[in-house]
Amino acid sequence: MKELIDNRNITLWNKIDSNFQVYFEKTLNKEYAVYSKGSKLIFYIGTGELCKDSFTHEMLHVYFRLNDCYLGAGLSNILLGNNRLGKILSKELVEHIGNCFEHKKMLPMYIEMGFDRTKFLTDYNQYKCEPSELEYLQVNYKRDLKYTDLFIGKLVAMFCDPNQDFDYIAELKEFKKLDSKLYSIIKSSIELWDTIEIGSKDIMLPDYNDLVFKLDDDLEDWYEGKI
């Protein structure tokens, strides 16, 4: 897949290629993805014209593994392994949180490498909280804990949206009204994530495990107030 490599991403590619057994597979749609297990790495390449921007996006997800940051796995193990939180948080939501958090750190690297911001996500031009979705939450959220998934999912998507043209001030204000404590928990988790230096060997600095355990503790405390 030499067509996906150029002077902008070759350094990252060489690091990945030297640390993993890399395989490529075609997908049946235009979406790119990456899957890893142990030393094996599979890049799924979308159909149609090859896109270096999309491929670089997936390589940047691998960047976290190269630096021993396993945020997604940590969130899944701790949150879904929690007897109470695991009943109200879905696997899809936890994966969404990890993915969006990684995107926040990936975007500056992606742009610095010289890739097209608008190609960073396939849904880059999609508004992350439509009026109908906000109205649905306003009607239903306080009735049942099952709507926690949607609340957190939309909140994380807005906080982590790379599209600078979208203004979520009004929506975020409404989310805070619906559940100020949960709003603050998610916001503070993102703020902590922003301070974490990926690849740092300084044991005095926070790492992804600190975020995972703090989020688990904070959500446990929030849950106590709901039952």
- Residue where the block lists tokens 């928990």: 185
Computed over every residue of the chain, the mean pLDDT equals 95
- Read off the pTM: 0.94
Are 109 and 63 spatial neighbours (Cβ–Cβ below 8 Å)?
yes
Of the candidates 123, 130, 129, which has an alpha carbon nearest to the alpha carbon of residue 31?
A: 123
Four-point Cα dihedral 193, 196, 199, 203, nearest 10: -130
Q: What is the pLDDT of residues 78-129, one digit of tens each?
A: 999 999 999 999 999 999 999 999 999 999 999 999 999 999 999 999 999 9
pLDDT bracket for residue 188 (50, 70, 90):
very high
d(CA 7, CA 29): 27
pLDDT, position 227: 64
* 50: region left, alpha or beta (phi > 0 left; psi from -120 to 50 alpha): beta
Q: Assess whether pLDDT exceeds 80 at residue 146.
A: yes
Mean of the pLDDT values across residues 50-61?
97
